[in-house]
Amino acid sequence: MPDRTLALLGRLDAATGVSGDESAVAEIIADELAGHHDRHESDALGNHYFFHTGSEGAPTVMLCAHMDELGFVVQHVEDEGFVRIAPVGYHDDRMVIDQDLRIHGRSGPVDGVTGAKPAHVLAPDEREKVIPMTDIFVDVGTSSREQTEGLGVRVGDLVTFARPAGLLNGTRVFTGKAVDDRSGCAVMVEVMRRLPADTAVTVCATAAVQEELGIRGAGVAGTRIQPDVALAIDVTLCGDTPGIEFSRLPIKLGEGAAIKYFDWAPAAGYGTAVPRRLTDRLERAAEGAKIAYQREVLMGGATDAWGIQLSGLGVLTGCISVPSRYIHSAVGCVHLDDVESAVELILAFIADVSASGLP
* 337 contacts Zn ion (rule: CB under 5 A): no
Contact status, residue 331 vs residue 100, Cβ threshold 8 Å: no
The CB-of-196 to Zn ion minimum distance in angstroms stands at: 28
Range in contact with Zn ion (rule: CB under 5 A) among 118-126, 174-182, 201-209, 331-339: 174-182
Q: Which amino acid is at 257?
A: A
* 180 contacts Zn ion (rule: CB under 5 A): yes
Contact status, residue 313 vs residue 166, Cβ threshold 8 Å: no
Beta strand 202-208 with 60-66: parallel, antiparallel or unpaired?
Answer: parallel
Looking at the DSSP assignment, which residues form a beta bridge with residue 87?
72
Name the residue among 138, 303, 293, 327 with its Cα closest to residue 231. 303
Nearer to Zn ion, 166 or 214 (CB): 214
* 352 contacts Zn ion (rule: CB under 5 A): no
Nearer to Zn ion, 180 or 228 (CB): 180
Size, binding site for Zn ion by CB under 5 A: 3
Q: From residue 168, how far is each of 171, 172, 228, 254, 336 by CA, in Å?
A: 6, 7, 40, 14, 11
Nearer to Zn ion, 82 or 270 (CB): 270
Name the residue among 130, 224, 175 with its Cα closest to residue 331. 175
Q: What is the DSSP string of 214-278?
A: TS-SHHHHHHHH--SEEEEEEEEE---STTS-GGGS---TTS-EEEEEEEEETTTTEEEE--HHH
Nearer to Zn ion, 21 or 352 (CB): 21
Nearer to Zn ion, 82 or 306 (CB): 306
* 304 contacts Zn ion (rule: CB under 5 A): no
Range in contact with Zn ion (rule: CB under 5 A) among 10-18, 175-183, 188-196, 318-326: 175-183
The CB-of-235 to Zn ion minimum distance in angstroms stands at: 6
Report the residue closest to Zn ion, judged by CB: 181
Distance of alpha carbon 323 from alpha carbon 143, whole angstroms: 43
Active-site positions? 211
Range in contact with Zn ion (rule: CB under 5 A) among 49-57, 75-83, 176-184, 339-347: 176-184
* 68 contacts Zn ion (rule: CB under 5 A): no
Nearer to Zn ion, 66 or 102 (CB): 66
The CB-of-181 to Zn ion minimum distance in angstroms stands at: 4
Binding mask 199-238 for Zn ion (x = CB under 5 A): -----------------------------------x----
The CB-of-288 to Zn ion minimum distance in angstroms stands at: 28
* 263 contacts Zn ion (rule: CB under 5 A): no
Distance of alpha carbon 122 from alpha carbon 269, whole angstroms: 39
The CB-of-55 to Zn ion minimum distance in angstroms stands at: 33
* 340 contacts Zn ion (rule: CB under 5 A): no
Q: What is the DSSP string of 284-342?
A: HHHHHTT--EEEEEEES---HHHHHHTSTT---EEEEEEEEESTTSTTEEEEHHHHHHH
* 181 contacts Zn ion (rule: CB under 5 A): yes
Residues that bind Zn ion (CB under 5 A): 180-181, 234
